[in-house]
Amino acid sequence: MTTPAALTALTRAGVSIWLDDLDRERIASGDLGHLIAHEDVRGVTTNPTIFAKALSGASSAYADQIRELRESGASVDDAVRALTTKDVREACDIFSGLWRDSDGVDGRVSIEVDPRLARDTDGTILQARLLHGMVDRGNVLIKIPGTAEGLPAITETLGSGISVNVTLIFSIERYAEVLDAWMSGLERAHSHGHDLSKIESVASFFVSRMDTEVDKRLAAVGTDEAQALRGKAGLASARLAWGVYQEAMASDRWRSLAALGARTQRPLWASTGVKDPAFPPTLYVMGLVAPGCVNTMPAATLAACAGYTGEVRDTVSGTQDESRAVWDALSALGIHEPEVCQVLEDEGVEKFDASWAELLTTVQQALDDAVP
């Protein structure tokens, strides 16, 4: 079986395709290995929502471990950590060959700190180290939210030599702060004697949620001018973020770190599943093709990309003026990026909190129901 042409074209264009979905059934069935071999999937991310769905929808795959956890008297928090880190550890092993072949760039698997710690810097640092130790694989990425409180945790975690996936980034201003926190972390890691070439990082910029929020506001405005801007804010923000990334990569500070062996913190386009059925299902993939980026997509979006028959080309370079014009037009209608992004960040934290609460409830029920 050959890799679909569009997926091959994305890889050749410099896009690293990651799957935004992981559960034990996908691991045990061999599906994840198939996606690596035949769909050019080069990494996988997960989050509390995905884990909650996995544990509630495929509980039989976890039955043996849940029974063992009940017999050991594990708390629900300890059980969740044991269940999720086992999935991530096994996925890391499946990706280990790709990780080695790519010199540690791809073949990465992400696991997120407890979202209840999104506003707790010290708690995030402690759990990042705990998860890193529990997974105990060189190709794991610890996901830390890009909140104001998360920024110093990102620096400290990277400074400890731990690879990081910064998540929940919505604003251009916050993304610039994330780049600064990342470089500060590399500088700290170097001062602590860590090999910078072994530290990988990505910065997850969320896309479709931006359109969901902005388009709701455009509908409230209701004019033809407002309607013409539907589905444009997400791509514009991501493309502007790419410009911020390019500026950082051209800085003397980065050149000094690169000379020490540091790797770039690749922009990762997250939340790339289309929420509005009026838009093409590949909108946030084919609209964000750029050399050296990552696109993490749910299975349905991956399938849509596999069947894509259009041209695959760089759709990001040279779009800065056009993207700024989109936000200028939105601002003229009273829709301002800083306020929208703060709403999205707060909602993102709340949604992950709710998913974590659902996950805890699901696991507690499974522990209670487990047959000795």
Residue 372 lies inside a defined structural domain of this protein: no
Query: Does a structural domain hold residue 149?
Result: yes
Residue 282: the pLDDT is 98
The pLDDT of residue 371 is 72
Of 53, 143, 232, 275, which is the active-site residue? Answer: 143
Query: Which residues of the chain, if any, have pLDDT below 70?
Result: 1, 57-59, 372
Residue 282 inside a domain? The answer is yes
| Stated pTM of the model | 0.96
On whether residue 83 sits in a domain, the answer given is yes
Give a yes or no: residue 82 inside a domain: yes
Provide the CA 172 distance to its chain's centre, in angstroms. 16
- Judge whether 4 lies within some domain: no
Closest listed residue to residue 231, CA positions, set 251, 207, 253, 252: 207
Q: What is the pLDDT of residue 120?
A: 96
149 in Cβ contact with 118 (< 8 Å) = yes
Domain interval for residue 308 = 14-366
Q: Are 313 and 13 in contact (CB under 8 A)?
A: yes
Q: What is the CATH number of the domain that holds 79?
A: 3.20.20.70
Active site residue 143: yes
Q: Are 268 and 296 in contact (CB under 8 A)?
A: yes
Render pLDDT for 21-39 as a digit per residue (tens, 0 to 9): 999 989 999 999 999 999 9
Per-residue confidence (pLDDT) for residue 133, from 0 to 100: 98
> Is 122 part of a structural domain of the chain?
yes
Residue 246 CA to residue 293 CA, distance in Å, equals 12
Q: Report the domain count for the chain.
A: 1
Q: Examine residue 9 and state whether it is found in any structural domain, yes or no.
A: no
The whole-number pLDDT of residue 331 equals 98
Predicted local distance difference test score (pLDDT) of residue 1: 67
